[in-house]
Amino acid sequence: MNQQDIEVFKTLGRISRFSITHGAAFPAGCIALTEFARCAVLVEEIGPDDSRPGTPASPSTLAMDHLFDKVWEDLKAISGTARTISVKEPGFSTRFRLGDDTHKDILASAGDFLEHLEDPATVAKFVAYLLPADFAATLTADLAEISGESDQQTDDKLQDVGDTAQTRLIIKEGRALIKSLNTSVRNFFRAKPEILAEWRTASRLHHTGGSGAEETPAAPAIVTP
């Protein structure tokens, strides 16, 4: 694949991670959910799996695993503290229930937790039980680092991917999905600029030079009368 195709593949990976965090907010049966699922399939189809027995993990994969282990421990601490808080505030812990310890579920749990931790009063309840005052900010930073390592991991995996006819078809479909999802996501989250900012980062196709390079249009500014 050329560099432009690699950028499309990286973008599909970022979109898949975005859908893990925010996909549950979309209404059942909408086109966006179908396209999010298809993005994940394309990533799996084109990306070699370095987790097969006998295949040495790349440095970026090892770094990624370490980050996920770190986030998992943080999530367990948050969830355990929430259960303690529930003794005095019944039902509090329902907002901080853990999924499984797979990478997908860890990202989903972290996204859910952080949405509830946007309230300073909620954060203070955890800090009262001696979680660090910046625990929510640390979790956010770790998720950003995971995203960066994911891009590096993609570079490692793509070293062995050839420019086959099937690959070219996948990339062509991926470009179309990115453009279509850009419309759905901008419309759905038009009143939530912080999520739109995440989407712009996830969906951006960077210019790489040469003909055919493109960049997903940024979401229009939201003007308040």
Domain range enclosing 97 = 57-150
**84 and 5 inside one domain:** no
Question: pLDDT band for position 223 (50/70/90)?
Answer: very low
Contact (Cβ atoms closer than 8 angstroms) between residue 99 and residue 111: no
Which of 126, 150, 174 marks a domain boundary?
A: 150
pLDDT above 60 (res 219): no
Residues 122 and 66 in one domain: yes
71: nearest Cα among 23, 145, 164, 142 = 142
- pLDDT(44) > 90: no
Give the domain-ending residue among 131, 150, 169: 150
Computed on alpha carbons and rounded to an integer, the radius of gyration of the chain in Å comes to 19
Quick one: 174 and 119 in the same domain?
no
Own/partner contacts of 41-46, CB < 8 Å, gap of 24 or more, are 42/12, 42/170, 42/173, 42/174, 42/177, 43/9, 43/12, 43/13, 43/16, 45/170, 46/9, 46/161, 46/167, 46/170, 46/171
Judgement on whether residues 116 and 86 belong to the same structural domain of the protein: yes
Higher pLDDT, residue 85 or 4: 85
pLDDT digits (tens, 9 = 90+) for 106-157: 988 998 999 999 999 999 999 999 999 999 999 998 888 887 766 655 555 5
Mean pLDDT, rounded, for 51-70: 64
- Please check whether residue 136 is in contact with residue 123, taking contact to mean a CB–CB distance below 8 angstroms: yes
**What is the distance in angstroms between the CA of the first residue and the CA of the last residue of the chain?**
47
Where does residue 54 fall: left (phi above 0), alpha (psi -120 to 50 degrees), or beta otherwise?
A: left
Residues 85, 140: one domain?
A: yes
Is the overall model pTM greater than 0.75, yes or no?
no
